[in-house]
Structure 1
Amino acid sequence: MESLGTFLKSRRDRITPAEIGLRTYGSPRRVPGLRREELAQLAGVSAGYYTRLEQGLAESASEQVLDALARVLRLDEVESAHLHNLARQSARSGLSEPPAETPHERVLALLAALDEATPAVVLGRRGDILDWNRAGHALLGDGLAFDAPKDPDRRPSVPRAFFLDPSARDFHRNWYELAEIHVGYLRLTAGRYPTDAKLAALLGEIMMGSDTFAELWATGDVRDCTTAAMHLQHPVVGALSVTYQVWLQPDSPDHRLELYTPNDPGSADALRRLVPRTAESPASR
């Protein structure tokens, strides 16, 4: 899991003095971005305190200090939220085994109310598929049993398959673009749930198995995952393009209902051809 100091340093390294109007007078610099003392001065804290904060030696940081650091580092809303999440970790205990995830009944009711021609899945906090409709299964679950999400031990993991299954690069024509989103969102999730042992194990497994994941994780980038285009090469209907949109349930903020809508008439036709197939597929029974 990521520490507050690691994230601060990665964001400090990407801000150059020139970007914020600091004069360097041509003196040689040993760091790619801001020095610790420069960041501390601009944020209105002592250099010693900021150094302890980055080294994990400070007991806490106030909301005001974190907001000042976020301002100087030019963090966006998602990055600022991540910074605050990381700052709260010091008061928490170590890793613990979380209970099995159960989607809220209102999330399932919304899923059931959707047109079966609209692919949709319910995702847990670690990217496990907790449920899907027939169209969602036809779009994303080729070769998987329709009832796999019902069993916590068999639930498909979207991040694991995306980074560790070689066929994912063939299936996702914009794989690298989506990989950046996946990594940024997993970092955000890790900041929200620093004690989740299953999440830590998943991140470690993917880190060891995917060089691309490790390289993207090292950038320190963090982002939310609410909507994006997915350009797919489906094994049954061929090329199609969809946009996913995430709907959140206040009673179950860990879980996301993702809907997939076609981006062009050809993709809409491909989705229509997928849906009847689910009634005949052995994997759907």
Structure 2
Amino acid sequence: MDDLAGFLRTRRSRVAPAAVGIPTDGRRRVEGLRREEVAHLSGVSVDYYVRLEQGRATQPSEQVLDALARVLGLDETEHEHLHRLARQRRRRTKAPGGRVRPELLRVLGLVADAPALLVDHRLDALAGNRLAGLLFGRPMPGLNIARHLFLEEAENGLYADGEQCTLDVVGHLRLAAGRHPDDPRLASLIGELAMGSERFRRLWARADVRARTHGRKVYRHPLVGLLELHQENFELPGEPGMELLVLSAAPGTPTEDGLRLLASLDPPTHP
């Protein structure tokens, strides 16, 4: 399925006609807006919009994309994603590599009181500090957060806020797929998740995109109990697609005590 075409179809199905001033009655059988309604409201011909949704129209202008984003009610992240999908046909970019500079590893080691890890656009953990390994119960190299969430820990309950985590992870992978459509390792990961998880398949079909930079993360560690952490995502200049994730505890909370207890455990030795 053409990514731009599929994204337009899923967004169109979610716009309530009343939200754009279109009256409805009980005879309406289309979920969301009709193609001709989107075309009319966006100021493009019906034929051109139909070709967009069929993947037959190339290089839509910036003005057309902005008009579609307005009619479809896209937020900033979705708007940027729409433009990125349209540009895929004009140029392809090489997916960033996964090499971690020694200086980054040194910085990672300086984070002593909070789990911290370096991840790439595929959500592969490239490196982590000692607390990160203790939190996830395994060494960081070889861990993929999406695979861990959907396939490895789905039944064990490490992710106390698993429903929200799955939304965030799928939304992140959708953005990554838009940025790196020619990345075979990312495509292979998405295929593996789709084969192994019915929930992933359902969420992927929604074509939601999410860019999360911070927020609450709750883990239920088998040895130290509930850990209510705050995650900050730091983009690394000069390292495309790579982020530093730091999971901190509020001072004076049971989670801060839990991290101290976690730090006293022996490190994991096997994935």
Normalising by structure 1, report the TM-score: 0.87
Map of 1:183-202 to 2, 5 A cutoff? 183-202=170-189
User: What does residue 267 of structure 2 align with?
Assistant: 281
**1:243 alignment partner, SS class:** strand
Deviations 1:72-127 (A, max 9, x none): 1110011111111111122356x98x67511345543432332x112100001100
Q: Is the 8 A contact 1:125 1:255 kept in 2?
A: yes
- In structure 1, runs of 5+ residues without a counterpart are 150-154
Distance (Å, rounded) in 2 between the aligned partners of 1:27 and 1:267: 52
**2:78 alignment partner, SS class:** helix
Are 1:22 and 2:8 matched, yes or no? no
Q: Are the structure 2 counterparts of residues 75 and 266 from structure 1 closer, same or farther at C-alpha, using a change threshold of 3 Å?
A: same
Are 1:57 and 2:53 matched, yes or no? no
Are 1:268 and 2:256 matched, yes or no? yes
Are 1:132 and 2:128 matched, yes or no? yes
Offset of residue 44 of structure 1: 1.2
Percent identical among aligned pairs is 41
2:110 to 98, 108, 113: 113
User: What does residue 90 of structure 1 align with?
Assistant: 89
| More displaced stretch, 229-238 vs 197-206 | 229-238
Offset of residue 29 of structure 1: 2.4
Normalising by structure 2, report the TM-score: 0.92
Q: Is the 8 A contact 1:2 1:190 kept in 2?
A: no
Q: Are the structure 2 counterparts of residues 283 and 3 from structure 1 closer, same or farther at C-alpha, using a change threshold of 3 Å?
A: same
2:206 to 205, 209, 219: 219
Q: Are the structure 2 counterparts of residues 2 and 198 from structure 1 closer, same or farther at C-alpha, using a change threshold of 3 Å?
A: farther
For 2:258, give the aligned amino acid. Answer: A
Number of equivalenced pairs: 269
